[in-house]
Amino acid sequence: MGRSKDDDRKRKREDRDRDREKRKKEKALKKLLETPDEKRRRRLEKKEKKAKKRRQKEQESLAGYTNEANPFGDANLTDRFVWKLKREKEIASGKVHPDDFDDAKTERMLRDERLRELEKAKKRRVEREKEREQWEAERDRMARERDGLSYDDWEKQEQTFNLEQAKRRSEIRIQEGRPKPIDILYKNLNMDVLDLDIELNEPYKIFSDLSLRELEELRKDILMYLQLDSHKEFWQSLRIVCDDEIEQLRQREEAEHQARRQGLEASGVHKAVSEDVLAVFRGKTYEDLSRMQSQIMAKITAGNAVDPEYWEGLLARLVVYKAKAKLRDIHAELLRRKLSQLEAGQMLEEVRRTVEDQQGQDDEASTTAAGTGLSSGGWDEPEASAAGGGGEDDDECLSPELVNETDDVEVVDPELDKQRLEEERQRIMEREAKKLQESSLALTSPAVKLSDAELYQIESERSMDENEETFSTEVALEGKKYWWQDKYRPRKPRYYNRVHTGYEWNKYNQSHYDHDNPPPKTVQGYKFNVFYPDLIDKQKAPRYFIEPSDSPDTCIIRFHAGPPYEDVAFKVVNREWEYSHKRGFKCVFDRGIMHLWFNFKRYRYRR
């Protein structure tokens, strides 16, 4: 089978060779027998075929362009251009022979020139495209830079606007008497700028009376000021103290829910020695604590510490005390500035009064002197008396006494003057602190002391809305003993409460009721007004506590104050409160009255 295929291929190859030899012989015989005209025609045909083949190659190599695809829109790009009128004119004038136009050399020259022009055009187009791309890239880069600068400006303006709005909100809440913890810190930092009372307590003391939720909200506000405000050290120190308070409060809450070992703290320092160790930090300045921190870090890094966990826990507490020391320094500097302003204003007022008094005395003396001169006959009269020998006293009165420059002048010692100035500043600080304390007491106590009955009458005479009713459902509390009942006689505070009712127009009530046939009213909020006019310690405001009742639909609000008042409790609807002031929430102790107003949240169904 394989042998037969090889034989077939060999036989076909031999047949092709015989045909080729036969054609060659026929062609050679034809050339021998052809006439001169046939020979010339054959050569012209051959020449034409070669020219046609060459033109096809030129078309393929014409800078890669064809009649259909070229950037010039020329449908005859590959065709040879013939200037017929010029050719006819040159032939008629005898300048050119007709056979010269068919010269292959001329054709090649024209072709080469055409190719060079195409290459130049292509190169120029590529350069233009490259320049345009570079120009567009530069334009985009400049536009991005402008947009970046504009964005930075917008971002700075937005941050400045947010900071100013936060400061403005704090100032409004402070002026309206409902400050938040962040407002107290803002007031503490800007006491030398704002026209407000002096804040004597250090700023970090505000954290001790806050719950975990309030501390977390305050931390968000501190981080906002830390990002936007320029007083970085102040807000950074507050952030450190706030984080420590949050951590300690969480540990206490975890200790209530978990069975932790008695007397251990999270830092690894035993409770028995914690106070003794931390007592080392108290009374230290910021510089002392910084040096102590460097020493402890060097001890831990060198590996010389016997108990590394102890020193690491100590270092963590040291960071917090260091932040508190920085806050104390900042607070003391702000107090000095504020007191300097108060001193300057007071001194300016004293100088103004002194100048006015002096001017009044000068005017009075001038008036007296003028009256005396007129009654004695004018200024020339004393001279006449002196000429008569009887005006010696008048001469001494009218002639000023010569000052002796050699008299001893009392010179003030700079050190004594500085010490006297410091003592004067200290007296002013104590006086202003006393005024501030008296003003704070005046805020919590009415200017005119009113009795329970008078406060009750004033509150009951206030007009009520159409949806408000009086509320006096008091819950009896179990017999409770107070530590002060031996000294003061316990008594129940008086109160005047109101309940706010209304209609719930939900989908069910809208489909089953209308305004002519309304649904039953539901409780929507309460207004508690409890009177404590005779409170012993007016600096501690009364507080309220939410306690469970015998029914899950209700809860108990218990109001607690100091002596001589007992606790009083009321049963209310157990629903979620609205804590926004815009929604009517109010919790203020003002002029002996504890106001607690709140409304319930309204939930709306949405698909």
pLDDT tens digits for range 64-98: 667 777 777 777 776 766 777 887 888 888 777 66
- Give domain status of residue 438, yes or no: no
> Of 20-24, 74-78, 145-149, 384-388, which one has max mean pLDDT?
20-24
Cα distances (angstroms) measured from residue 78 to each of 65, 83, 124, 156, 540: 8, 16, 21, 64, 104
Is 595 part of any domain?
yes
Given a contact cutoff of 8 angstroms between Cβ atoms, the answer to whether 441 and 536 are in contact is no
Q: Is residue 442 part of a domain?
A: no
Picking from 323, 347, 371, the residue at the C-terminal end of a domain is 347
HSE (CB half, 13 Å, CA atoms) of 132?
6
Is residue 469, in this structure, part of any structural domain at all?
yes
Query: Average pLDDT of 474-488?
Result: 73
Q: pTM for the complete prediction?
A: 0.37
DSSP-H helix ranges across 176-231: 181-189, 212-228
Domain count, the chain: 3
Least confidently predicted of 36-40, 278-282, 443-447, 477-481? 443-447
- The answer to whether residues 482 and 335 belong to one domain is no
Specify the higher pLDDT residue, 593 or 392. Answer: 593
pLDDT (0 to 100) of residue 64: 63
Q: Is 342 within the bounds of a domain?
A: yes
Confidence of residue 572 (pLDDT cuts 50, 70, 90): very high
Of residues 275 and 269, more confidently modeled: 275
In a domain, 153, yes or no: no
Of 198-207, 250-259, 389-398, 573-582, the range with the lowest mean pLDDT is 389-398
- Of 232, 328, 236, residue with least CA distance to 281: 328
How far apart CA 162 and CA 171 sit, in angstroms, is 14
Q: Do residues 566 and 490 lie in contact, with contact meaning Cβ atoms separated by under 8 Å? A: yes
- What are the residues whose beta carbons fall under 8 Å from the beta carbon of 494, sequence distance 6 or more? 452, 453, 455, 456, 530, 531
Where b means 16+ CB within 10 Å and e means fewer, 358-381 reads eeeeeeeeeeeeeeeeeeeeeeee
Could you tell me what percentage of the chain is helix, strand and coil, using 3-state DSSP and rounding each to the nearest 5? 60, 10, 30
Distance set, CA 471 to CA 213, 493, 495, 529, 598 (Å): 31, 15, 10, 11, 14
Strand pairing report for 586-590 and 543-548: unpaired
Given 347, 376, 407, the domain boundary residue is 347
Supply the pLDDT for residue 357: 59
Q: Nearest to residue 159, comparing CAs of 248, 225, 251?
A: 225
Count Cα neighbours of 178 within 13 Å in the Cβ-side half-sphere: 13
Which residue blocks in 379-512 are alpha helix, DSSP H? 381-387, 392-398, 414-444, 452-460, 507-512
Q: What percent of the chain has pLDDT over 70?
A: 71
CA-nearest of 207, 269, 286 to 241 is: 207
Residue among 498, 460, 475, 493 nearest 592 (CA)? 493
pLDDT for 75 equals: 77
Are residues 330 and 473 located together in one domain of the fold?
A: no
Which CA distances in Å does 8 have to 4, 11, 17, 22, 230? Answer: 6, 5, 14, 21, 101
> Helix 308-375 to helix 414-444 angle, to the nearest 10 degrees?
100
* Of the candidate ranges 18-27, 182-191, 266-275, the one whose mean pLDDT is the lowest: 266-275
How far apart are the C-alpha atoms of 586 and 598, rounded to whole Å? 7
Tell me: do 468 and 337 sit in the same domain: no
In Å, what is the CA distance from 407 to each residue of 403, 411, 414?
A: 9, 12, 22
Please identify which residue in the block is written with the tokens 């932040």: 323
Query: What pLDDT, on the 0 to 100 scale, is given for residue 370?
Result: 43
* Mean per-residue pLDDT of the chain: 76
Q: What is the pLDDT of residue 371?
A: 46
pLDDT of residue 105: 66
Please give the pLDDT value at position 606: 59
Question: Which residues lie across from 554 on neighbouring strands?
Answer: 573
CA distances from 30 to 20, 45, 232, 270 (A): 15, 16, 110, 126
Q: Specify if 229 maps to a domain.
A: yes
pLDDT of res. 128: 92
- Where does a domain end: 316, 347, 378? 347
DSSP state, residue 536: S
What average pLDDT score do residues 225-233 get? 85
In a domain, 2, yes or no: no
The residue segments making up the domain with residue 532 are: 463-600
Tokens 């007031």 belong to 187
Mean per-residue pLDDT for 413-425? Answer: 82
